[in-house]
Structures are given as structure tokens and as C-alpha cells.
A = this chain, B = another copy of it.
Amino acid sequence: MNSNRPIGVFDSGIGGLTVVHALRRLLPGESLVYLGDTARVPYGTKSHATIERYTLQAGAILQRYDPKLLVIACNTASAHGLAALQAVAPCPVLGVIEPGAAMAAQVEGPVGILGTIATVQSGAYEGAIRRRRPEAEIHSLACPLLVSLAEEGWLDDPITTEICERYLKALPESVRTIVLGCTHYPALRPSLDRARPGTTWIDSGDVTAEAVDALLKNSAGYRIESSKGPLRVLLTDASSRLQEVGSRFLGESLESVELVEL
């Protein structure tokens, strides 16, 4: 089965472009429509009701492009808005938490979860890991400053390392596998590595791309064209700085951006 319909990708801002990057590497032929709610970013400090409402609004916009599949490429929106969007969307909806949790559940020993305040408060990772491994030892940690540091571009930086060290020292020494439970965090890998050498990091973008591949294979269908698929980027607010930082997350130049209202 094939389908040339696009994959819709939603994020609270531009952090989800790290997931688009992973998707384009694994599934280069797919057509993608990305919607970043940059006018209302960040979601990580907002309440459940607000995040759920925003996620439903974003899903409605993406439905205009008749997607074969929706990906919520934001851990916070996945934690608070996935169930509500799945209940109303006419196509499958995939979040980033289930794939990350599935990978984490395979790990022996304790697992750490780094995320925004809202993601950690939701308990979504704990629930998803414990469904697969009920006895799992899980340590969750909110790291509110890391999103700002990634957006400021201080990716490989002594101050970022110091902040990562301060956050990470709250995790027991025995934790050797840590889920990067926010799509901004993979950009900070150099600083995270220095702050906690020898850690195995689970990148929710990579594992989500794998989950999308499995879903296309088993139900929604791949795009027929073998040439590089088009990428359309919709943002609710745009600026030259957003395009610059977004290009870094995407791993390619983010040239044309369309403004939409949410």
C-alpha cells in the first residue's frame, strides 16, 4: 500500500524540527507538513487544559493538508494532548513519548527522564514505561532552563555544562540511561555528555522516526516517489532568528516559512 498524502508534524515551537530531521534521514521520500506554534511557545510551563486545547487547534490546522498520519513532535504536547487529538483525528496520531518509553523499558537498571515541568508533572513517561516493565526504577527531572539554552544556541558551552551538571546531580549515580524527553535537548548533547560522561541518551526524535516507519509499513503506506519529499513549514510567528535556530535543529537551511494563525 502506498500513499502520497503528507505526514503532519506538530510542535509547540521549532524544537520538533529535530524530529523532522530524523524523519527526513530515515524516510527521505516522504512529504512533510510541519506546524510550529511559535507564537505561544513554550508549552512546558503551561497547564494541562491549555496544552490540550492548543494541541487540538494545531491538529485541526494540519487536517487541512489531509495527512495520512500526524506526529506530535513535542513531549509536552504528547503528554497532555495526545489522547484528546487521537479521539477526534481521522488519521492515526503518534506522540514522542510512547516510542521513547518503549526504548527505555528495554534497558536494564534504573532510567532517568529529563523533561519540561509539564511533561514531568504529567507522569506520562512513568506510566508508559511501567506498562511495559512494572518494576522499573524511574527518576524524572524537570530541567526548565534547557529549552532556553538550546534556543539561545549555547549548545556546546561551559555555562550550559554547569547547568546540566546542577540538574543531573539530582539523579542517582546508578542511572546510566537517560531519556531526552524534550525535542530541544538533543541539540545540547555536547554539554550533556560533558556533564555526565558515559551516559546512554535516548533521543525521542530518533525512536519516533522508527515508530513512524513501522506505522507507514504496516498501515498508512509509504510515498511512491523516491526523490526527496517536500517539506512545508508553517509557524504561528516568524522571525529571522527563528529561521536561524530552526535551521540548526533541522540540519538544513529553513528557507521558506508560512505564517498561520491559531
Contacts and interface: CB of A to CB of B under 8 A. Distances in A.
A221 interface: no
A153 B159 CA distance: 17
Chain A interface: which size bin?
A: 20 to 34
A174 interface: no
Given A39-B40, A145-B148, A149-B145, A45 B241 contact: yes
Contacts of A236: 50
Copies of this chain, whole number = 2
A155 to B, nearest CB: 13
A151 B45 CA distance: 10
Interface in A134-153: 144-145, 147-149, 151-152
B159 A241 contact: no
Contact of A144 (B117, B148, B239): B148
Interface in A43-60: 45-47, 50
Contacts of A166: 159
Interface string A11-50: 0000000000000000000000000001111000111001
B144 A151 contact: yes
Contact of A239 (B41, B47, B151): B47
Interface in A206-262: 236-239, 241-242
Contacts of A45: 41, 151, 239, 241-242
A235 to B, nearest CB: 10
A162 interface: yes
B145 A47 contact: no
A103 interface: no
A163 interface: yes
Contact of A152 (B41, B47, B144, B154): B144
Nearest to A157: B166
Interface string A144-187: 11011101101000010011001000000000000000000000
A40 B45 CA distance: 10
Nearest first, the 6 A-B pairs at minimum CB distance are: A148-B148, A50-B237, A40-B40, A46-B237, A39-B50, A47-B239
24 contacts: A38-B46, A39-B46, A40-B40, A41-B45, A45-B242, A47-B237, A47-B238, A50-B236, A50-B237, A117-B241, A144-B148, A144-B151, A144-B152, A145-B145, A145-B148, A145-B149, A145-B152, A145-B154, A147-B148, A148-B148, A159-B159, A159-B162, A159-B163, A159-B166
